[in-house]
Structure formats: C-alpha cells, structure tokens
Amino acid sequence: MFVRIDHVGIAVHDLEEKIEFFTKTFGLTVVAREVNEEQGVKEAMLRVRDGNYVQLLEPLTPDSPVGKFLARRGEGVHHVAFGVPDVAEAMRVIDARGVRLLDERPRHGSMGSSIAFLHPKDVTGVLTELVQSDHPGRPLFHGNNDSPEG
C-alpha cells in the first residue's frame, strides 16, 4: 500500500533558522509553507525530488504533539510519512490488522494532502503518517525508481 516515502518530519525549535540550515547546507528548496492549527504546527516542505520531501516542524504551542516531543526528546526525527493512493482505504486495512489509528478520519495536511497518523507504539516506535495527495509535485510513484532525476 505504500508507494513512496513522502517525507521525513523533523521537529525544530526555530523554523526559519533550520530552513536556512537545510537550504544552505544541502541545496534543498522550500516548496510550501503552512500554519496548520489543527496539528499545532508551523511547517515547511523542502523538496528532495518530486514526491519526496523533508518537512520541518515548529510547534505552535508547548502542549501540541511537536511541542511535547521537543520538550521530551529535543530536536530530531518526529515522524515518517508514506504516500498511499487512498488514505481512507489504507486506514481501513491497517486498522483491521490491529494497528491503532490516531485519527478517525483523514485530516488536512501540507500542500492540500489528506493525512492520518498511526500510533508509534504499534509501529516499532516510529510515528507513522499516511499521505494521499493529487498535487502535481507529488506523483503517486516514479516510473523508474532506479534513476532519480532533478
């Protein structure tokens, strides 16, 4: 059901400072920025290639998911997000396989996507996100996964 690694979410204290670091150090480009009140984050998507991103996440409040994570563990990888063709269908199948869903229905995610989270304790300690997107910059999958292009 996973068609790509869509993004790696990284918790940061200062979004602007870390955008500067990732763009200057690795030559990545910011392709989207959003404040997501429901998720409690200010975030930026940095493109590695179409469909594959680094997501930098700054908490809006200390009691949000990313705020609590930063207080407990400090900056670092917060979640891994996989692209799926149909998030509602993926949720149904994964739920039936006994993994706890953190969302009852898909939520609004970056660049117009529909997202849902799985409990980290049921995925070997990894907070896992499902992403469905029909954004042109997020193709379902690449025709040839062996030859990355620019």
32: exposed, middle or buried (Cβ count in 10 Å: 0-12, 13-18, 19+): middle
**Contact letters for ligand V0V, residues 57-96 (x by CB under 6 A):** x-------xx-xx--------xx-x---------------
User: Which of 23-31, 35-43, 93-101, 140-148 is the region at the interface with ligand V0V (rule: CB under 6 A)?
Assistant: 35-43
CB 43 within 8 A of CB 54: no
Contact 126, 120 (CB under 8 A): yes
Q: Residue 119's Cα: distance from chain center in Å? A: 14
CA distance 31 to 78: 20
> In degrees rounded to 5, what are phi and psi of residue 4?
-170, 165
Site map for ligand V0V, 102-121, x if CB under 6 A?
x------xx--x-x-x--xx
Report, in Å, the least distance between residue 144 CB and Co ion.
Answer: 26
Decide whether 13 or 34 has the Cβ nearer to Co ion.
34
- Positions touching Co ion (CB under 5 A) are 9, 55, 81, 129
Cβ at position 43, least distance to Co ion in Å: 7
The answer to the question of residue 41 lying near ligand V0V (CB under 6 A) is yes
CA distance 8 to 25: 17
Distance of CA 110 to the CA centre of its chain: 8
C-beta closer to Co ion: residue 82 or 150: 82
Which positions lie near ligand V0V, rule CB under 6 A? 9, 36, 39, 41, 43, 55, 57, 65-66, 68-69, 78-79, 81, 102, 109-110, 113, 115, 117, 120-121, 125, 127, 129
